[in-house]
């Protein structure tokens, strides 16, 4: 392909950006290194792995599709990317992936469907990302739950899960929001930060693996504008989905 002159100045810029891609991976690694590396989940190859959460996890999945390892059932987000990558990395394995995220969910809505959409599946690895709607719907849409509701509901959910699935590995993703983009303004902070802290505290309490998505997105936003990673401050772009999958894959593999 010929390179028109007006592309040449862009080339220099992108070569710099291209170099930055290596440090993006470093950011992910550094952020997840905050967890104990020894706690990384080593796959045997026959695990059932369940993604749970809200729209970020749902990512447009076909909710009528109950099949295991089905593309349309995994949605168009980090869960699809991470599961495709692991099935590719472990050819011939019996890894079983499910995505049961539902758009708009808050913790109490996970609890209402936990028996069917979690416990019955008996996941060996359970990954939960929940909390942005617990704040958002309270702040903007008249939901009456508070940070105390979030903490109590998530505490109860995790306690129940630990009781019923004592050998399952838990992964808790940090709720995240990037200010200055459509859905998210400065009014979110510092209240929203309490939800992040609650998720981290409960991850510690229940010995769950914690993925610090907020700091991962903040660090990535030093390499490219936040809007590059999340188009509305809450939902990841294509690049943001890959960023989340890369972070998730630092915890499981």
- Active site (catalytic) residues: 55, 232, 235
CA 245/CA 172 separation, integer angstroms: 14
CA-wise closest residue to 251 among 85, 111, 11:
85
Q: Which is nearer to a second copy, 97 or 195 (by Cβ)?
A: 97
Tell me if 149 contacts a second copy by CB under 8 A.
Answer: no
Closest CB to a second copy among residues 88, 120: 88
Which residue in 34, 37, 39, 60 binds a second copy (CB under 8 A)? 60
Give the DSSP per-residue string, 157-221. HHHHHHHHSTT-EEEEEPP---TTBTTB-GGGTTHHHHHHHHHHHHHHHTT-EEE-HHHHHHHHT
**Please, what's the b/e burial string for 93-109 (b: 16 or more CB within 10 A of its CB; e: otherwise)?**
eebbbbbbbbbebbbbb
Interface with a second copy includes 105 (CB under 8 A)?
no
Measured CA angle at 221 (ends 215, 226), to 5 deg: 110
Is the CB of residue 231 less than 8 Å from the CB of residue 104?
no
80 binds a second copy (CB under 8 A): yes
Give CA 125 to chain center in angstroms. 14
> In the structure encoding, which two tokens stand for residue 95, read together?
């890894």
* Full strand arrangement of the beta sheet holding 125-129: 96-99, 48-53, 125-129, 169-173, 209-211
Nearer to a second copy, 95 or 198 (CB): 95
Q: According to CB under 8 A, which one of 33, 94, 148, 207 is a site residue for a second copy?
A: 94
Smallest distance, a second copy to C-beta of residue 169, A? 6
77 touches a second copy (CB under 8 A): yes
Regarding 170 and contact with a second copy (CB under 8 A), the answer is no
> Among 56-64, 109-117, 137-145, 197-205, which window interacts with a second copy (CB under 8 A)?
56-64
Give yes or no for residue 88 binding a second copy (CB under 8 A). Answer: yes
Bridge partner list, 184: 181
Return the number of the residue (149 or 242) whose C-beta is nearest a second copy.
Answer: 242
161 contacts a second copy (rule: CB under 8 A): no
State in angstroms the smallest separation of the CB of 60 from a second copy.
5
Tell me which residues touch a second copy (CB under 8 A).
1-3, 7, 10-11, 13-14, 17-18, 20-21, 24, 41, 43-46, 59-60, 62, 69-72, 74-77, 80-81, 83-85, 87-94, 97, 124, 167-169, 220, 223-225, 228, 236-239, 241-243, 245-246
């Amino acid at each position: 392909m010929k390179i028109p002159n007006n592309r040449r100045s862009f080339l220099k810029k992108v070569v710099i950006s291209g170099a930055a891609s290596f440090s993006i991976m470093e950011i992910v690694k550094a952020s997840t290194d905050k967890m104990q590396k020894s706690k990384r989940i080593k796959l045997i190859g026959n695990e059932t792995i369940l993604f749970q959460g809200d729209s970020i996890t749902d990512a447009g999945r076909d909710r009528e599709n109950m099949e295991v390892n089905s593309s349309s059932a995994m949605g168009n987000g980090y869960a699809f990317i991470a599961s495709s990558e692991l099935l590719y990395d472990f050819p011939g394995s019996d890894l079983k992936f499910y995505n049961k995220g539902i758009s708009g969910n808050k913790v109490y809505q996970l609890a209402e469907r936990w028996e069917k959409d979690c416990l019955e599946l008996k996941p060996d690895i359970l990954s939960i990302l929940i909390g942005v709607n617990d704040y958002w719907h309270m702040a903007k849409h008249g939901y009456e739950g508070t940070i105390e509701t979030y903490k109590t509901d998530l505490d109860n959910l995790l306690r129940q899960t630990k009781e019923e699935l004592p050998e399952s590995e838990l992964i808790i993703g940090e709720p995240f929001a990037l200010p200055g983009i459509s859905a998210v303004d400065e009014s979110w902070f510092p209240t929203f930060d309490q939800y992040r802290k609650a998720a981290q505290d409960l991850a510690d309490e229940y010995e769950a693996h914690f993925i610090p998505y907020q700091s991962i997105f903040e660090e990535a936003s030093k390499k490219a504008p936040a809007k590059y990673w999340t188009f509305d401050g809450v939902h990841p772009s294509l690049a943001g989905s890959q960023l989340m999958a890369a972070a998730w894959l630092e915890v499981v593999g």
